[in-house]
Structure 1
Amino acid sequence: MEYLLAQDVALSSAPSYAAMTKLPHWSQLPECSEQSLISQLQTTLEIQQQLNIVSMAAGKVLPLSALSLKTAVGDFIAIGSSQAEFEHRSVLVLNQQCLAELIYHSDYPFTPMVQRELLLLESEWLFALRNALVVSRLQQMALKDTLTGLGNRRFFDDSFAKNVQLAKRHHERCTLILLDLDNFKQVNDTAGHSAGDEVLLAVADCLRDTLRATDTLFRFGGDEFAIILSEQDTDNAELVARRLVKVINQHFLCQQYNVSASAGLATLTAEQTGQQLFSAADTALYAAKAAGKRTVCIA
């Protein structure tokens, strides 16, 4: 099912930043009786928070075990959700455009009367949800490279700082791989920028297909990429880096244009800062280039 993308929505209608059930942990949410559902939903542009508010309201119609939301900007699950015997799905539509799909789970059947009451609640959510989708999509666009869809430099800087901070706090490892394409400039110079874009897209696909979902991937610069490996992959960081280089080197487009990849990697030590970790990986990348390219060097 295709859900509405934010650019399909009139941005001018989005508000400015303002300001149950059997599910556990709902006590931290405001009671529906204190204000209308619409008023509560208008207090936040966070999709997750809106879903939690709707779950609390829906739980007063029928005790729920779970509530989840599928959208174009991602899937969301209400806090405390668990599977149950009965399921009810509802497509949220505004102005003939599909915003999302809402999936209820309960130990009790969804009778026609219950479904009608839930539909009334959903109708009160539509405009607030649409606005939240707009904001979420714009936030995603601001953090993505427009060509490849990978995280951009801004997203990398934020993610890298957080990963280093968490690694130090929990005494875990954090590994950074910097990858650069060899001979890429000649593609733009001889075959044109459209050919260069095709190569970059192919490389991005290679990286996505090779890495685990828990690893984070960025287009760092023109033909430079960065990968932050999850804790469980740090032991195999060199194997990961070599596999990435190999997959790129063997891609038919890269072979056609004589493009290859070099990589440098470094793993955070207890004494290092994030800047020092980046410098170590960058130095290793230059060493790989100096060693004849198409290879991997470790800091």
Structure 2
Amino acid sequence: MPLFRQIIGKRCRKCLRIITKTANQLNLIPKYPCRPTHGTEIACLPRRHQGQLGDILLVSGVTQSKTALDDAGLRNLEVLASPPLNDSGPGKQYLNRLLHITGALQTSLDVNKVIETFSIEIKSILPHHSIHYHYLEQQITVEVGDKARNSCSYQLVVCGQSLGQITLSRSKKFSSQETALLEKLLCCLVYPLRNSLLFRNAQQAALKDPLTGINNRAAMDITLARELELARRHKTPLTLITLDIDRFKQINDTHGHLAGDHVLKAVTDIIAECMRSSDILFRYGGEEFTIILSNTGLRGATLLAERVRKAIESRTITANNRHIPLTVSIGLATANAADTRESLFDKADVAMYQAKSAGRNCVIAYEAAPAA
């Protein structure tokens, strides 16, 4: 039954055995897909042709476990309950349409694209003006179309995991038949949507520093290249700040690495308190941080850098009941038209090491060497 295995999803394919029996081979004939209370089967699926019961699909677990088919998988059986699998008429066309929708949804791992594709694919069989999708856990909101007066909403859940809420709207009210159809169509959506959310989560995790929770070096490379392009396009200033904790190795050697981790997190919090909402903070590596300041020239960046330096110097940080004095050396550089991501960072880094050489606990702006 390859067609059936495609519909119920990848999770169930490896752990199910599917057989068919005619109605007179069973003592109990279910009226709808269900979980039997006796026997080894984990689900029964009656299949009808022209309103008459034809045969019954029994889904059995390969193992002794009877939990392989979750609620979402059981609901997916209802997709197969309506049209007969061997019908070449409307029922088969309907099932082929569902398979086409499922296939289309699996062509992308971008959440926005998955929702947009779902809207496009179902519009011919379930007319609507808009789809609104919201997933609070990852702060995702997708809007497709213009919101209308009447709507219906569903909480999407797979294997006990919430995937957020989806709302369809249009000017005309949705009938009970249409909401029943939508529930079947959502069965095509939930697994591709879950895959896209997992992929997005993995992507974001790869761009975060696990200790401090802020953006990491890989994220800085991507963001700085983007901000440089925007600054060139709109002819706005862009400044990069590099910041290094003074004598951090001594902190680790004296107080231990757990204390060093505590210091890194404390410095992260202090910098975040001093920043504007438009500034972007990164942990570049070790005890070095960077801040991208869009639409900010040298004067504004220097004011921010001094605010950060003073805040860190004045803050009382303790570890193992011992006070840890902290200072930072800060360098900054403002981009020019010829700067690349690498050249701008090198300038700010040079300025930061100049601050180290000048006695630490100070801010120095990069100055190009005078032409010979």
TM-score range (shorter-chain normalised) is 0.7 to 0.9
The answer for unaligned runs of 5 or more in structure 2 is 1-10, 15-95, 367-372
Superposition deviation, residue 52 in structure 1: 0.9
The residue number in structure 2 matching 1:40 is 104
Q: CA deviation at 1:106?
A: 4.5
Structure 1 ranges of 4+ moved more than 6 A: 32-35
Change (3 A) 1:256 1:110: farther
1:75 aligns with 2:140: yes
CA contact (8 A) 2:129 2:146 kept: no
Alignment correspondent of 1:278: 345
CA shift digits 1:129-160 (9 cap, x unpaired) = 11112221221222221211222222222322
Q: 258-267 or 247-256, which moves further after superposition?
A: 247-256
**1:38-58: per-residue Cα shift (whole Å, max 9, x none)?**
111011111110011123345
Give the structure 2 partner of residue 198 of structure 1: 262
Report if aligned partners of 2:130, 2:143 keep a CA contact under 8 Å in 1.
no
Aligned counterpart for 1:54 among listed residues 90, 93, 118: 118
Q: Tell me, yes or no, if the aligned pair for 1:266 and 1:298 is still in contact at 8 Å.
A: yes
Q: Is the 8 A contact 1:62 1:114 kept in 2?
A: no
Check conservation: 1:88, 1:103, Cα contact below 8 A. yes
- Partner of 1:76, secondary structure, is strand
Aligned partner of residue 271 in structure 2, secondary structure: helix
Assess, with a 3 A threshold, how the Cα gap between structure 1 residues 114 and 212 changes in structure 2: closer, same or farther.
farther
Aligned to 1:296: 363
Q: Cα offset for 1:233?
A: 7.4
**Match among 101, 107, 113 for residue 165 of structure 2:** 101
1:42 aligned partner, one-letter code: Q
Give how far 1:198 is off: 1.2
Q: What amino acid is the match of 1:182?
A: D
TM-score, with structure 1 as normaliser: 0.77
**Which of the pair has the greater relative contact order for Cα pairs under 8 Å at 6+ separation?**
1
| Pair 1:136–1:268, CA change in 2 (3 A) | same
* Structure 1 residues 274 and 97, CA gap change in structure 2 (3 angstroms): closer
Offset at residue 34 of structure 1 (A): 10
Query: Structure 1, unaligned stretches of length 5 or more?
Result: 1-9, 14-31
Aligned counterpart in structure 1 of residue 333 of structure 2, from 263, 266, 276:
266
Across the aligned residues of Structure 1 and Structure 2, the Cα RMSD in angstroms comes to 3.0
Q: What code does the residue aligned with 1:292 have?
A: G
Query: How many residue pairs get matched?
Result: 269
- 1:236-255 alignment to 2 at 5 Å? 236-253=300-317
Moved more, 169-178 or 81-90: 81-90
How far the C-alpha of 1:210 sits from its partner, in A, is: 3.4
CA contact 2:133–2:166 (8 Å) conserved in 1: yes
2:324 to 257, 273, 285: 257
- Which of residues 139, 146, 154 is equivalent to 1:90? 154
Letter of the structure 1 residue corresponding to residue 166 of structure 2: L
- Residues 111 and 144 of structure 1, relative CA distance in 2, 3 Å threshold: same
Bigger fraction of residues in strand: 2
Amino acid at match of 1:211: M
